[in-house]
Every structure is written in structure tokens, then in C-alpha cells.
């Protein structure tokens, strides 16, 4: 499959300028920077706003990204730059927490009588956006404290899946998958009782191409973890250096932009749970959305199971991307703005193009495994050539004709050979009578 080109033009001019300037001065891969921007935008917005896909289905803007390249070729620097405003905010929150904790401890040191004459001080909760290393228990507590939501970013993503493997028996992996699906987290034990109605959990990290192969075939494969990740795989990156530094105006622009999003207040309901503002599609966007759904469902129904899984997850990411581009558009000076929370055709169009990019990327990765499966099942080059030459759907007669046209040597019994191959359920599915479909 031909490699898909990242659609950089889906971003407004000011963000394109930032991405290109970071490429020019720091050799940051444009794809890494662009997707890092979306990760930070989603984390900054958190549970303040959700996309209303349907009246009964609201989707947050948390995304899971994996940046893949050879060791030492700049997976970490783009995110280090982009996450700086988030980390600066976390340092401010940490200082506030320390001050409040000191006041609480001073209050607690008073006698019961003295407390009654003073205004009661509640024990503070530590607020933070970004984490790196974690235990499942600690992550749950952090998510419970931070109603806006949290994110995990690891420059070495292997740390994350080693952590998950370490805590496999505790159900940590299933817990994260349920958070991606926004299932309510409820756990009651002898020592604790925690209920998280709207988990918001972003996840990102860098990984080498070698370690990525291990990740693809680890315990995390085949259970939906890989399918939920947006894989930004750049195998052809080259090491380059520049004597220039990025101008201050770009640093200030990005810091101001992220801080503006962080300033959005998290609304809570009467029970102290997040109350996100709905992001609704315009009537025109709903028509285009319906067309996309019909097209995507057709692919789910007709393609192989490996691809169908990708198409299924795309439904969620389409809404996430549409919401992210709406946020960006509403704060853009260089393009016709959409109203914040009113997702129009432009944001939806950008979302569809980005979904298509990741569909192709996933297919490139899965395609290697598919090729190996075909080779293993058919074993010799003649049969593999025949299989690859078949149309997606065909009749038994067409399969036999093609087999004869190939003029395979030493193939005396065409009918018997073709029927034997068609019986391989891993490669063919019988539609009806003499009509067949290739699985891959």
C-alpha cells in the first residue's frame, strides 16, 4: 500500500507556521508536532466540553498516540516543547496545593475547641494534568481528584506497557480500555470506595521501531489496545542539526494558546461530577456525517476482520478529531472561524481526512502481518501470485480460469487444486452458491 502523506493543511496557517518553524529550526518531524498539538489541545480542554455524537452518546477529546521512529531521531523533543505550558501550569497547581496543605495541617494541629471557633478547612486535593510513571491504584486516585481529566505521556512508551504487563493480574489494562470507552469507573473494596462517572484519560509516548514490533505482538495485541492507538510511524527519519533557534514569538503564541484553553472552567453538577458543555454538529455537518457512516459501515461489512476493527474504532476518533478541530478553528485568526461548540463541515472535513490518514497507516502496519499469513497458508509463490491476482469478490469459474491463465507448471488438476485452496476459511469466505470473497 502506498504510504499516506500527512494532511498538514488541515491546520490553520498559524499552527502550520509553528509546525514548519519547529521543523526548520529543530528538525521536529511535522507529523509528530501536528499530532502532539492535538494531544495537548484535548488534554487542555479535558472534561469541559464533549462532542455530542448522538443525544445518548457524548465523546470526550482524549486521544491515544504512539510516536514511532528509530532510536535517537527526535520522538521526544516535539512533545517536550508542546507540553511545556501544561507542565508550567502543573507547577503552579503544585505550589497552590503545598500552601493549602500547610494551612490544613496548621488547622488540624488545633484542639477541638479551637477548631470550633475557626472556619473549617478541608483537606486539599492535589490537582495535576500530566503524569509519567504510575501504579493503577495511584492513577485511579489521580483521576478521582482531577475531574477535568488527566494525561500520561512517556518519552519511552515501553515503560507504560511494561507497567501494564506488571499489573496485568490487577486488571489495569482493562481499566484503561474502559476509560478510553468512557465507561464509569466504580470500585468498592474494604479500604476504599471510588466512583468516577466521566473518566478522561489521554495517553501518548514514543517508541523505537524495534520495540514497537515487540509491542505489536505482546499481550496488548489482539485485545483492542493497539487498535485504540493512533500510530505515527516514521521509519525514514534522518538525523539533522540546525544552528538556528525558534523565535520567541512562536513560543509565546503556543503558550498563550494552551493557557487560554486551560482557562476554560470545569463545570460540575450538584454531586460534584463533571458537567461538560455539548459540542453539537450543524445541520449541514450532520448530512456529511451520515454519508461517512454509510461508507464506513459498508467497509466494516465487506472487509476482513483486521480492517473491520480499524473502521469500527474510526467512528470514535472521527468525533474526537471533529471536536479538536472545532476548538482550533474557534480560536484561529487565519481562517473562517466556527463557533466554539458548533461543529461545522470544515472541522468535520478535516477530521475525515485525518481518519483516512490513520486508516492507511494502520493498514500498512497490519498489511505486513497479512502478507505473512497468506504466505504461510498458501506456501508457494504460484498460489500466492494467484491469490493476489484475484478480484475481491469472484466466482469459482473465475478462480479456475485465472489459475489456468497463470499456466502454473506441474498443475495438472486445476479443479481439485482450486477447490482445496477455496476451502481455506482463513483466506476465503463463501457468499452463496459459487460466489466467494477474499478475506484479505
The reported pLDDT for the residue numbered 198 is 94
Residue 1 pLDDT: 40
Gap between the Cα atoms of 355 and 19, Å rounded = 20
Element (H, E) at 96: helix 84-108
**Residue-level pLDDT at 411:** 55
Whole-model pTM: value is: 0.84
Give one DSSP letter per residue of 292-304, joined into a string: HHHHHHHHHHHS-
Rounded Cα distance, 261 and 10, in Å: 20
Dist CA 53 CA 297 (whole Å): 16
pLDDT of residue 416: 79
Rounded to an integer, what distance in angstroms lies between the CA atom of residue 119 and that of residue 278? Answer: 37
How many of the other CB atoms lie within 10 Å of CB of 159?
16
Which pLDDT does position 366 carry in this prediction? 72
CA–CA–CA angle 155, 157, 160 (5° rounding): 120
φ, ψ of residue 150 to 5 degrees: the values are -135, 165
Predicted local distance difference test score (pLDDT) of residue 190: 44
Question: Based on the number of CB atoms within 10 Å of its own CB, is 116 exposed (0-12), middle (13-18) or buried (19 or more)?
Answer: exposed
Quote the Cα angle for 316-320-325, to 5°: 150
CB count in 10 Å sphere of residue 88 = 14
Do the beta carbons of residue 76 and residue 155 sit within 8 Å? yes
User: Residue 379: helix, strand or coil by DSSP?
Assistant: coil
pLDDT for residue 94: 95
Helix (H) or strand (E) holding 69: strand 64-69
Q: Of 70, 90, 83, 88, which is closest to residue 33 (Cα–Cα)?
A: 83
Written as nine digits, the cell of 7 is 494532511
8 A C-beta contact, residue 79 and residue 85: no
What's the pLDDT score for residue 371?
61
How far apart CA 288 and CA 409 sit, in angstroms, is 52
Nearest CA among 127, 91, 119 for reference residue 103: 119
Which three cell numbers, joined as nine digits, stand for 170? 490487577
Q: Which of 352, 289, 292 is nearest to 317 (CA)?
A: 352
Cα separation, 221 vs 362, in Å, equals 13
Instruction: Sketch the domain layout of the chain as residue ranges.
Output: 8-276, 380-438
Cα–Cα distance, 93 to 97 (Å, whole number): 6
Contact yes or no for 6/322 (Cβ under 8 A): no
pLDDT value at position 35?
A: 98
Q: Which mean pLDDT values do the consecutive 10-residue runs of the chain (440 residues) have?
A: 77 97 95 98 98 95 95 90 97 95 90 85 92 82 93 87 64 86 74 81 92 75 80 86 89 97 95 95 96 91 76 93 97 83 96 94 70 70 82 87 70 73 80 81
DSSP secondary structure letter of residue 274: B
Q: What pLDDT shows up at residue 170? A: 61
Alpha helices per DSSP H over 122-186: 136-145, 158-166, 172-180
Q: What are φ and ψ of residue 218, in 5° steps?
A: -85, -170
Amino acid at each position: 500500500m502506498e504510504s499516506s502523506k500527512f494532511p498538514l493543511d488541515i491546520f490553520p496557517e498559524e499552527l502550520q507556521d509553528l509546525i514548519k518553524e519547529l521543523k526548520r529550526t529543530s528538525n521536529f518531524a511535522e507529523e509528530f508536532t501536528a499530532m502532539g498539538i492535538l494531544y495537548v489541545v484535548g488534554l487542555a480542554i479535558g472534561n469541559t466540553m464533549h462532542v455530542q455524537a448522538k443525544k445518548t452518546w457524548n465523546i470526550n477529546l482524549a486521544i491515544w498516540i504512539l510516536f514511532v521512529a528509530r532510536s535517537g531521531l527526535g520522538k521526544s523533543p516535539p512533545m517536550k516543547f508542546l507540553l511545556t505550558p501544561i507542565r508550567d501550569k502543573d507547577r503552579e497547581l503544585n505550589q497552590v496545593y503545598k500552601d493549602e496543605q500547610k494551612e490544613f495541617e496548621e488547622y488540624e494541629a488545633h484542639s477541638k475547641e479551637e477548631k470550633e471557633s475557626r472556619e473549617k478547612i478541608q483537606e486539599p486535593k492535589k490537582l495535576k494534568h500530566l503524569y509519567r510513571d504510575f501504579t493503577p491504584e495511584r492513577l485511579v486516585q489521580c483521576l478521582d481528584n482531577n475531574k477535568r481529566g488527566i494525561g500520561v505521556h512517556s518519552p519511552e512508551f515501553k515503560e507504560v506497557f511494561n507497567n501494564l504487563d506488571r499489573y496485568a493480574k490487577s486488571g489495569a489494562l482493562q481499566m484503561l480500555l474502559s476509560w478510553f470507552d468512557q465507561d464509569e469507573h466504580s470500585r468498592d473494596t474494604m479500604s476504599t470506595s471510588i466512583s468516577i462517572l466521566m473518566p478522561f484519560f489521554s495517553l501518548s509516548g514514543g517508541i523505537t521501531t524495534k520495540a514497537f514490533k515487540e509491542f505489536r505482538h505482546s499481550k496488548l495485541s489482539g485485545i483492542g489496545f493497539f487498535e485504540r492507538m493512533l500510530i505515527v510511524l516514521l521509519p525514514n527519519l534522518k538525523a539533522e542539526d540546525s544552528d538556528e533557534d525558534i523565535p520567541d514569538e512562536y513560543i509565546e503564541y503556543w503558550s498563550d494558546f494552551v493557557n487560554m484553553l486551560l482557562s476554560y472552567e470545569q463545570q460540575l453538577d450538584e454531586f460534584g461530577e463533571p458537567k461538560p458543555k455539548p459540542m453539537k454538529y450543524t445541520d449541514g455537518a450532520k448530512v456529511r456525517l451520515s454519508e461517512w457512516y454509510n461508507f464506513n459501515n459498508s467497509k466494516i461489512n465487506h472487509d476482513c476482520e483486521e480492517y473491520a476493527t480499524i473502521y469500527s474504532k474510526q467512528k470514535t476518533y472521527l468525533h474526537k478529531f471533529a471536536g479538536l478541530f472545532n476548538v482550533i478553528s474557534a480560536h484561529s485568526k487565519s481562517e473562517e472561524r466556527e463557533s466554539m461548540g458548533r461543529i461545522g463541515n470544515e472541522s468535520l472535513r478535516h477530521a475525515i481526512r485525518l481518519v483516512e490518514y490513520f486508516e492507511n497507516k494502520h493498514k500498512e502496519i497490519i498489511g505486513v502481518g497479512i502478507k505473512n499469513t497468506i504466505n504461510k497458508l498458501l506456501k508457494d509463490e504460484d498460489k500466492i501470485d494467484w491469490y493476489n491476482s484475484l478480484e475481491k469478490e469472484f466466482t469459482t469459474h473465475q478462480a479456475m480460469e485465472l489459475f489456468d491463465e497463470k499456466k502454473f507448471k506441474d498443475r495438472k488438476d486445476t479443479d481439485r487444486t482450486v477447490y482445496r485452496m477455496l476451502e481455506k476459511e482463513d483466506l476465503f469466505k463463501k457468499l452463496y452458491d459459487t460466489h466467494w470473497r477474499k478475506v484479505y
